[in-house]
Amino acid sequence: MNPRSAQFRQLFKQGPFVCMGAHDAVTAKLAEQAGAPAIFVSGFAASAIIAGKADIGVLTQTEMFEHIRRICRASTVPVFADADTGYGGILDVQRTMALWEEAGASCLHLEDQALPKKCGHFSGKQLISKQEMRLKLRAMLDARRDPDFFIVARTDAIAVNGLEDALDRLAAYSEEGADGLYADAPESMEQLEEIGRRLKPLGKPILFNMARSGKTPFLSLKEVGELGFGFAICPIEPMFAMHKAVKEMMETFMREGCSTNAIADQITSFQDFNRFVGLDESVAVERKYADAG
């Protein structure tokens, strides 16, 4: 059993919390250092980091597994990892459950999109039937070995069929046994209020996506907590911050005659970075065993 899974469930007792996005081992360590109680591994970010591609279902199940495992190894807080559609049918969903547990994750969300899936904020999404999603959830729940592992059921129905279908689907997914509920890409405060009002009586934590995509209102954790949401993800902002900072650094470097003097104020020092990645601790371990010999 993964002790971080029990730790993840304990977070709900403390009130609404945020899972900070991390797209690699460095950002996982930074998130933890900043005080994030949990980490979120986004499929959108993974597609960009691993393949340099948009989130249109290009990553394989095992590519995502390895990506999650690296992030789990670099952190000590619970990791919530995107599982897309489960990568196929019933057997694929069960293998995804096993792999995500093996990687060290403590939570995942499974969505009801049809293949090929797309980012929840892209147009042109298609859905599987409510009954098919219930069967996939049932298969995933049956494959779960750690009872503390937290499974979130996600629907993308708002953009396809409207809010009523999304709420109906999530009620069915809750009945099937999902631990948490997630309606992706709501487009107004009115929709968010209705999601909170209709889903909160089901007794399952409701997830809010803080991504600044332009579709969903930009709200603070306090604000979404007041609407009835139990937790949130800030999934891709660290990657966007990295993209902006590195882009500006490289452009400055090239523009200013390829001199590191021009970017000295934009980069972490060699000493500070080595301290961050634990060089001093590694040297101490080597010295301990060298001295013992």
Q: What's the confidence (pLDDT) of residue 55? A: 87
Q: What's the confidence (pLDDT) of residue 120? A: 56
Distance CA 17, CA 166 (A): 24
pLDDT, tens only, 137-148: 999 999 999 999
Q: What's the confidence (pLDDT) of residue 119? A: 64
SS3 37: coil
- Compute the average pLDDT of residues 26-43: 98
pLDDT exceeds cutoff 80 at 44: yes
- Compute the average pLDDT of residues 195-206: 98
Which residues partner with 180 through β-bridges?
A: 152
Percent pLDDT > 70 in the chain is 98
Distance CA 264, CA 176 (A): 55
pLDDT exceeds cutoff 70 at 293: no
Token pair 């994030």 is found at 36
The domain limits of the chain are 3-236, 256-292
Amino acid in the structure at residue 24: D
- Compute the average pLDDT of residues 50-60: 91
pLDDT, tens only, 159-184: 999 999 999 999 999 999 999 999 99
pLDDT exceeds cutoff 70 at 56: yes
CA-CA-CA-CA dihedral for 227, 112, 161, 57, to nearest 10: 110
290 pLDDT band (50/70/90 cuts)? confident
SS3 153: strand
pLDDT, tens only, 57-105: 889 999 999 999 999 999 999 999 999 999 999 999 999 999 999 999 9
Contact present, 95 and 145 (Cβ < 8 Å): no
Q: Which residue from 35, 282, 132 is spatially nearest to 111, judged by alpha carbons?
A: 132
Q: What's the confidence (pLDDT) of residue 214? A: 72
Distance CA 22, CA 18 (A): 12
Q: Which region holds residue 184: left if phi is over 0, alpha if psi is between -120 and 50, else beta?
A: beta
* pTM for the structure as a whole: 0.95
Is the preceding omega at residue 116 within 30 degrees of 0, hence cis? yes
- Class of 3-236 per CATH? alpha beta
Amino acid in the structure at residue 188: S
Q: Which residue from 249, 213, 4, 232 is spatially nearest to 107, judged by alpha carbons?
A: 4
pLDDT, tens only, 240-249: 999 999 999 9
Distance CA 208, CA 205 (A): 10
Q: What's the confidence (pLDDT) of residue 200? A: 96
Q: Provide the terminal-to-terminal Cα distance of the chain, rounded to the nearest Å.
A: 36
- Compute the average pLDDT of residues 133-138: 98
117 pLDDT band (50/70/90 cuts)? confident
